[in-house]
Amino acid sequence: MPVIDSIIQAATGKVAEVTLGGQGRRTVTVGGEAALPFLTFEGQMPHRPVVAVDVEDREPTTWAGTLRDAWGAAAKDPATWARAAVEAGADAIALTLASTHPDRENASPESAVETVKQVLAAVDVPLIVYGPGVAAKDNEVLVAVADATQGAGLALGVCEDKNYRTIVAASLANGHVAIAKTPIDLNLAKQLNILIADMGLPPDRILMDPTTGALGYGLEYTYSVMERLRLAALQGDRWCAMPMICTVGYEAWRQKESRVGEGVPAEWGDLARRGILWEATTASTLLQAGADVLVMRHPQAIALVRGAIDKLMG
Amino acid sequence: MALTGLQIYKYLPKTNCKKCGYPTCLAFAMKLAQKGAELSACPDISEEGKQALDSASRPPIQLVTIGAGARKLSVGNETVCFRHEKTFVHEPGIMVRLRASDPKEEALALVDRVERYCIERVGMQLRLNGFAVDGTGAAPAAFAEFVAAVKAKTESPLVLMSGDPAAMAAALQKLPAGATPLVYAASAAAAPEMAKLALKHKCPLAVRAPSAAGNGHAGSLDDLAALVEQVTSAGVVEVVVDPGARGFGDSLAALTQIRRLALRKNFRPLGYPTITFPGEGASSTEEEVLLAAEHVAKYSGVVVLDHFSPEAAYLLLTLRQNIYTDPQKPIQVTPGVYPVREPGPQSPLLVTTNFSLTYFTVMGEVEGSGVPSWLLVVDSEGLSVLTGWAAGKFDAEKIAKAVKSNEMADKLQHRKVVIPGLVATISGELEDELPGWQVLVGPRDAVDISAYLKRWSAN
């Protein structure tokens, strides 16, 4: 008997399968793993992890220079930007409705709906939609978006323990997927999944965001909590078995390493290459911990990570 | 696999002769189980018992030391597959490959760059670990000369790479006694001779899986195990294994299988650290970094890079530090008040946590701003700002206590305290806890501290 047969670890549970898109749009399914990431010698990994690309509805003037250079004028218009992102390899678009933030343009839910429709018309990949990150306005904006896009299979973010009911109800009523975000903690993640499922949203309509730490900035906490969640899922804990989504681009590109080229040690090397690799390595390391959806920003980092996924999937 | 005291007791003479210094054989057995005594203290143990206990007390993954002196590299001795189960203990070596077929001057210039490379992160000095000198395509004498020239420039550990025992012998001759490079590699036909060289020079020996292409499939690990047994039965103790897999997927499978076999099955022939060559499985220098990162996270003992760049080195060293931090003991700094650039009674007071990463990031920015400031580090038990807040270790009460116990009121004329933007929500509560103080909400990200401090005014 070959020696490795003795360490095959048969899973008793598997990760839920979540499908985004639909209604004539391209669909993307994630999850379904019955083994630890890429260990196909002991169980199936039916779907490859996907890369969703960040697009904002207003020009992201505070983004790192390397990123703004990469997207150029495309970043002035969300629909144009989304098309460019698909060309760069986006399996999905992660649209942030930043202009609806009360401290920015405080744009109305109606204008947010318009933006979402424009992006849906511009590309046929699935759409993830994030509110401005302020609970009350998130609810207002995401409900309007959810109602106006019934059946388009969006993922709506984010639900947190203090604010999930409205977004879950809107997802439930309109065939969307909810993103459940918790702060790097297995029990909190599990608890929020249960609360959301209690409202009637089935497990195959939930993505969980365990909160991402970038390389050098808490990556190891995210890495370990994701490994624990995935191990629990494979051991049959269905409340830990939702596919995981990681906001890699946002976290990696707000660190000094990705933003600052002057007044830093020469040992940090070239700024642009450092930023791209910082994002790509954060992403590829989280793939090893079980990430199913990576939300990313730089075209070269996206290409690198997609290449690594191709090779990992064989 | 650790034995219990009772399991050990079975192998002892059970005479209670006390020569070991313990009152009974059982007491001695218990002490052995806790690793508080050495088996050699028992003069009467049978040869059979000694062998059984020696092999049982060996760690499931052998500790291997490459090089000597202050820069020596020790890898192996890992006890878990996942860092959250306990911790990973010996950081993998990250080395740079030099090819004897390359122009010597360029190679030696690279040695200098790598040797000088050192970067501080959260209070620790991070560096690469040495060089793999590859003799492929060079005649034995040329390889030996090249190795000698590299050695003349560095005290770092070396890996000598050649499939030709004659070239390996020539290179080993050029090194000072006790340099203990890793001999790479015993593979198929050359294994007996490589084992002899490793024994003669007291070096660790790498064993490479027979199928050069490698695919991580079952067969190659069985063949690798057989080859390891061949060199260990010849007397080699410190072994490093190379499963031959080179790609993202096959090397992940092979390294995972080796780790699990060693830890879960106590499978001796593969109970050794591994060596990987990400440059051989990557199609670009960028991809090499990603594959090297995979090897750092997933079970490599030595990672040999084909390309050196400062940004890639910084990134991989940071990742290694992240993955090998003990999850039970976040790196912490001592709570208290830290004066930056001789602050006075009109200087700003900033509050942060004692999680080392938070502290060093904030401190770096405060120092960089050039604005004399007081940095008050609250004992959040090593948690960062948000996690500390969520866990009740960095709340209004704790911050108020730190302001009072550090007698900030005596040090300052103003009554303003700046809290991290991430915990803006506690500002009201903190004003209740600190009557007479004004709580200001600072930036969310450390990178914005400098601009904030430059605008700050006591009035």
Half-sphere exposure (CA, 13 Å, Cβ side) for B145? Answer: 9
Beta bridge partners of B378: B353
Which positions of chain A have pLDDT values less than 50? none
Residues 366-385 (B) with a CB less than 8 A from some CB of A: 368, 384
CATH architecture of B64-324: Alpha-Beta Barrel (3.20)
**What ranges do the domains of chain B cover?**
5-57, 64-324, 336-455
Q: Which of A259, A267, A304 sits opposite B287 (nearest CB)?
A: A304
Mutate: best of B80, B83, B84, partner A, most A CBs <10 A: B84
Q: Which of A38, A267, A311 sits opposite B314 (nearest CB)?
A: A267
Q: Which of B84, B264, B315 sits opposite A7 (nearest CB)?
A: B264
Mutate: best of A134, A225, A250, A311, partner B, most B CBs <10 A: A311
Contact residues for B128 (Cβ-Cβ < 8 A; gap 6+):
B94, B95, B96, B114, B117, B156, B308, B313, B317
Beta bridge partners of A218: A214
Which positions of chain B have pLDDT values less than 50? 1, 212-218
Structure tokens at A135: 């609970």
Neighbours of B180 (CB within 10 A): 20
Radius of gyration of chain A (CA): 19
Contacts of A38 in chain B (CB under 8 A): 248-249, 252-253
**What ranges do the domains of chain A cover?**
49-313
Residues 285-304 (B) with a CB less than 8 A from some CB of A: 286-287, 289-291, 293-294, 297-298
Fold of B5-57: 3-methyladenine DNA Glycosylase II; Chain A, domain 3 (1.10.15)
Residues 27-66 (A) with a CB less than 8 A from some CB of B: 36, 38-41
Q: What angle do CA B438, B440, B441 make, to 5 degrees?
A: 155
Q: How many angstroms separate the CA of residue A275 from the nearest CA in chain B?
A: 9
Q: What angle do CA B322, B324, B329 make, to 5 degrees?
A: 90
Give the helix/strand (H/E) hosting A181. strand A177-181
In one letter, which amino acid is B130? G
Report the C-alpha gap between B289 and B274 in whole angstroms: 18
Contacts of A274 in chain B (CB under 8 A): 311, 314-315
ipTM over 0.90: yes
Structure tokens at B151: 């050695």
B248 CB within 8 Å of a chain A CB: yes
What pLDDT does B301 receive? 98
Give the helix/strand (H/E) hosting B169. helix B165-174
Instruction: For residue A124, give the nearest of A150, A90, A155, A156 by alpha carbon.
Output: A90
What pLDDT does A2 receive? 67
What pLDDT does B216 receive? 43
| The total number of residues written for chain B in this structure | 459
In chain A, helix, strand, coil percent, each to 5? Answer: 45, 15, 35
Contacts of B327 in chain A (CB under 8 A): 220, 224
CB crowding B151-162: b at 16 or more within 10 Å, else e:
beebebbbbbbb
Contacts of B82 in chain A (CB under 8 A): 224, 227-228, 231
CATH 3.40.1390.30, applies to B336-455: no
Neighbours of A20 (CB within 10 A): 27
Contact A215 B315 (CB under 8 A): yes
Which sign does the torsion angle of CA B81, B82, B88, B94 carry? positive
Contacts of B325 in chain A (CB under 8 A): 220
Contact yes or no for A224/B84 (Cβ under 8 A): yes
Structure tokens at A225: 């909590």
A–B: how many Cβ contacts below 8 A? Answer: 161
Peptide bond into B185 cis (omega under 30): yes
pTM, two decimals, is: 0.89
Q: Which of A269, A288, A300 sits opposite B297 (nearest CB)?
A: A288
Report the C-alpha gap between B230 and A99 in whole angstroms: 68
Q: How many angstroms separate the CA of residue A217 from the nearest CA in chain B?
A: 7
SS3 state of residue B453: helix
Contact A274 B121 (CB under 8 A): no
pLDDT digit string, tens, across residues A45-102: 999 999 999 999 999 999 999 999 999 999 999 999 999 999 999 999 999 999 999 9
Q: How many angstroms separate the CA of residue B397 from the nearest CA in chain A?
A: 22
Contact B221 A218 (CB under 8 A): no
CA torsion B260→B261→B264→B265, rounded to 10°?
170
Contact yes or no for A9/A41 (Cβ under 8 A): no
Angle between helices B191-200 and B165-174 (to 10 degrees): 10
Contact A256 B446 (CB under 8 A): yes
Q: Which of A254, A269, A280 sits opposite B310 (nearest CB)?
A: A269
In chain B, helix, strand, coil percent, each to 5? Answer: 45, 15, 40
Largest CA distance in chain A: 67
**For residue B319, how far is the Cα from the chain centroid?**
10
Beta bridge partners of B93: B302
Neighbours of A248 (CB within 10 A): 34
CB crowding A204-213: b at 16 or more within 10 Å, else e:
bbbbbbbbbb
Largest CA distance in chain B: 83
Contact yes or no for B62/B271 (Cβ under 8 A): yes
CATH 3.20.20.20, applies to A49-313: yes
Q: How many angstroms separate the CA of residue B224 from the nearest CA in chain A?
A: 11
Residues 206-225 (A) with a CB less than 8 A from some CB of B: 215-221, 223-224
Structure tokens at B10: 């079975």
Q: How many angstroms separate the CA of residue A228 from the nearest CA in chain B?
A: 8
